[in-house]
Structure 1
Amino acid sequence: MTHRPVTPAFAFGRVAPTISVSDLPRALAFYVDVLGFEVVFCNGDPVGFVILERDAAELHLTLRTGHRGSAANVAHLMVEHVSAFHDHCTAHGVRIVKGLRDADFGLRTFVMADPDGNRIDVGEPS
């Protein structure tokens, strides 16, 4: 498949995935307490939307009652020291959906799931 690059007169800024969760306190325990993200914004009363940041990564969590994760990845997270991060996740009981491997597309990668079953592809250039 060939696509011709577009050279528009505008530029994109950051983009952050929005991840639906069925239980916000449970999701925050995972993303903040296990993965080390920081809550930088909350919206709603009760809170139904949260922005999380860690280093250059940003995630948005939105409360959606009854949400269940699917078999599709909802985010791709590039990390340094992916093996150490994989070990950290394993030690904290994070569900590993696809084990750590060297993929043929040039990444050392694994797929994990949050408590709702949302899949996050994690990788580092190999």
Structure 2
Amino acid sequence: MTNPIRLGRIAAMLPVADMQSTAFYCGVLGFSKTLENGDPVGFMILERDDAELHLTLQKDHRAVHFNVTHMMVGNVDAMHDACKAHGLRIVKGLRDHDYGLRAFVFEDPDGNRIDVGQHIAK
């Protein structure tokens, strides 16, 4: 039996204490703002390549102690270096995993934990 429901893109929604987090996502990771909503802005869509990220203003945001999203990249070492260069906390160091990913976990400026991985060539 085939499922008649077709899924489109799914985008991660990250809570931020203020919208200054766009400086990291746009300035460091190269995302572009494609939509801002509210006055003051309380919701934003950022895009880069095939990735889409939604930021939502939650002034009382308190980060949780688990990964809130996973990001696949083409050069995990360069991403790791960029996070370190900008003083972000590396929660789990960069290493190769037996399930075929080279990965690390960092905290964005709002403390959201993001797992970053790249497939290891066989």
CA distance in structure 2 between the partners assigned to 1:77 and 1:17 by the alignment: 10
Following TM superposition, where does structure 1 have runs of at least 4 consecutive aligned residues deviating by more than 3 angstroms? Answer: none
1:68 corresponds to 2:62: yes
SS of equivalent to 1:124: strand
TM-score normalised by length of structure 1: 0.90
Equivalent runs, 1:82-101 vs 2, <5 Å? 82-101=76-95
**Alignment of 1:45 onto 2:39:** yes
The question of 1:78 aligning with 2:85 is answered no
Query: TM-score normalised to the size of structure 2?
Result: 0.93
In structure 1, runs of 5+ residues without a counterpart are 1-5
Segments of 5+ residues of structure 2 without an aligned counterpart are: none
- Secondary structure in 1 aligned to 2:99? coil
Aligned to 2:109: 115
Q: 2:119 maps to what in 1?
A: 125
Q: How many residues align?
A: 120
Task: Please say which of residues 12-21 and 64-73 is displaced more in the overlay.
Answer: 64-73
How many percent identity over aligned positions?
59
The residue aligned with 2:15 is: 20
Distance in 2 (CA, whole Å) between partners of 1:93 and 1:35 is 14
Letter in 1 for 2:15: S
Q: How well do the aligned residues superpose, as a CA RMSD in angstroms?
A: 1.1
